[in-house]
Amino acid sequence: MCSQVLWVLVMFTIFTFMEGRKVVEACSPNDLKGLIDLKNGIVIDTSGRLAKWVGESCCQWEGIVCEKTTGRVTEINLPGLISTNDSLFQSQMTGLLSHSITLLSFLEVIDLGELYGLAGTIPPTIGFLLPNLRKLYLYGNNLTGPIPESIGKLSKLQELALHENSLSGSIPSSIGNLENLNRLLLYTNRFSGVTPDSLTNLTNLVELDLHSNILTGHIPDRIGQLPALKNLDFSNNQLSGKIPLSVTNLTAISVMYMDTNNLEGSILFPLMSGDLPSLAFLRLHDNQLSGTIPLNFGYLISLQRVSLANNKLEGALPFSLGNLSSLTELYLNGNFLSGQVPTSIGKLSQLLILTISNNLIQGPLPRAISSLQNLQMLDLSFNRLNLSTIPKWLIELPSLSRIYLAGSGIQGQVPDFLQTTPSQLQELDLSVNHLTGSIPPWLGSLSHLYLLNLSRNSLVSDIPDSITKLT
């Protein structure tokens, strides 16, 4: 009885042991062929990882993960950037991405990111042959060709990171079928054509980054309805049309970049208090936007950095700007903004950078600006300020070190109080004014100065020797 039990136990142990060995030793022939072809496609591997891929125990190979019960390969993790406990190493692989990778039919994760020299194309059959794929990272390589239409079959896909390659063609509308997709990163490629409307079906999308391609046409109308979106970047394309945010459910969004396109129309958002409650970074510069900055702009209370520069915006700066108490950087230069700087500007106590140059802003400057205790850079050049003199209270701002007051109607001599500013002057542009007298020798004591522009004034002077001290 006892020996029978023992016998069963021994057999069981041996059986389990063999099962274990089987997992270790015998790789599925398909997986093995796929990996060997992948290795053979790569001619240089500075990480040395592939050189150690020998024998047939592919589950033991570096960068390979297998599922225990099936023994099938589920992950290929060979990112170019290798991090160990205390060091980072950027490796490189040169060669072609083998299409045999589709033989590894149980794959869930492919991470071949930032190998730089990896060329070739994405296998056209990927969508049919790798149905379990959750993460596909092929970014930072040298891949060409299109994203295959079959990509839309990868119903489990959560992350698609193909950025920083030379991929081309249009973005297949079948991507709209990937209902589990969280991150779609296609930036810095050569994608052209229109952005497919089907992207607005991706209700789980958190990050949508298509910047620096050659996309044309409109931004999909219903983009404002993606409830989970946090990061939206369409900048540096050739998009046109309006910013479709008149209806918005983008409650999670914190980053919205659409600069350097040909977008037109007015800024229609936010409609009401509570819209875009998380929006922190907004870049709309270098477009063709017209109309005024809406009064409701003051509802975007999470804004930190805003650029509306180089558009065709007109009208006054809304008083509600003062509600944006988290604002650190505001770029409004290169528009047709008029009226005076609103006194509410003084409430932006976090503000570090303010540029309103090249507009039609009139004087006088509100004393409220002297509340901006953190302001480091102020650019008011080329407006209709007609300041006559540089306000002394402005120069006394404790953090101000970069001052641009070109074309501001400043008369008289270069004022002495510029010698003793609370913060060391770094940049001073007083060009295109009516300054008279001479260039003061004390300029040579502004030891932190690296930009000084006094051109196009009426100064009559030698250039003081002390200037040579401004190393």
**Which of residues 36, 109, 117, 415 is near ligand NAG by CB under 6 A?**
117
Q: Which of 340, 388, 423, 436 binds ligand NAG (CB under 6 A)?
A: 388
List the one residue out of 243, 117, 231, 244 whose CA is nearest residue 185: 231
Residues 211-240 that bind ligand NAG (CB under 6 A): 225
The contact pattern for ligand NAG, residues 127-166, with x = CB under 6 A and - = no contact, is ---------------x------------------------
Q: Using the rule CB under 6 A, is 119 a contact of ligand NAG?
A: yes
**Which stretches within 122-234 are classed as H helix?**
126-129
DSSP letters spanning 214-256: EEESPPPGGGGG-TT--EEE--SS--EE----SS---SS--EE
Q: Which is nearer to ligand NAG, 196 or 464 (CB)?
A: 196
204 binds ligand NAG (CB under 6 A): no
Instruction: Tell me which stretch binds ligand NAG (CB under 6 A): 17-25, 100-108, 114-122, 306-314.
Output: 114-122
Q: Considering the rule CB under 6 A, would residue 344 count as an interface residue with ligand NAG?
A: no
CA distance 353 to 328: 7
CB-based contact 405:377 (threshold 8 Å): no
Nearest-approach distance from CB 404 to ligand NAG, in angstroms? 9
Tell me how far apart the alpha carbons of residues 427 and 451 are, in angstroms, rounded to a whole number. Answer: 5
CA distance 105 to 128: 9
Residue 358, phi-psi category: left (phi > 0), alpha (psi -120 to 50), beta (remainder)? left
Please say which residue, 148 or 172, places its beta carbon nearer to ligand NAG.
172
Identify the residue among 3, 83, 85, 471 touching ligand NAG (CB under 6 A). Answer: 85
83 touches ligand NAG (CB under 6 A): no
| H, E, C per residue of 24-46 | HHCCCHHHHHHHHHHHHHEEEEC
CB of 326 to ligand NAG, least distance (A): 13
- State in angstroms the smallest separation of the CB of 346 from ligand NAG: 14
Nearest approach in angstroms of CB 12 to ligand NAG is 33
Task: Work out the end-to-end distance of the chain between its first and last CA atoms, rounded to an integer number of angstroms.
Answer: 96
- In the window 307-336, what residues touch ligand NAG (CB under 6 A)? 320, 323
Supply the DSSP symbol for 147: P
Q: Radius of gyration (Cα) for the chain, nearest Å?
A: 30
* Residue 69 interacting with ligand NAG (CB under 6 A): no
Contact with ligand NAG (CB under 6 A): which of 409, 415, 444, 464? Answer: 409
* Piece in contact with ligand NAG (CB under 6 A), picked from 2-10, 291-299, 370-378, 396-404: 291-299
What whole-number distance in Å separates Cα of residue 202 and Cα of residue 182? 8
CA dist list (Å): 440 to 418, 419, 422, 465: 11, 10, 19, 10
Residue 432 binding ligand NAG, by CB under 6 A: yes
**Amino acid at residue number 282:** L
- Report the Cα 327 to chain-centroid distance in Å: 19
In which region does residue 120 sit, left (phi positive, over 0), alpha (psi from -120 to 50) or beta (all else)? Answer: left
Q: Return the number of the residue (394 or 406) whose C-beta is nearest ligand NAG.
A: 406
Measured from the CB atom, the residue of 32 and 115 that comes closer to ligand NAG is 115
Which residues of this chain interact with ligand NAG, rule CB under 6 A?
A: 85, 94, 116-117, 119, 142, 176, 197-198, 201, 225, 247, 249, 295-296, 298-299, 320, 323, 386, 388, 406, 409, 431-432, 453, 455-456
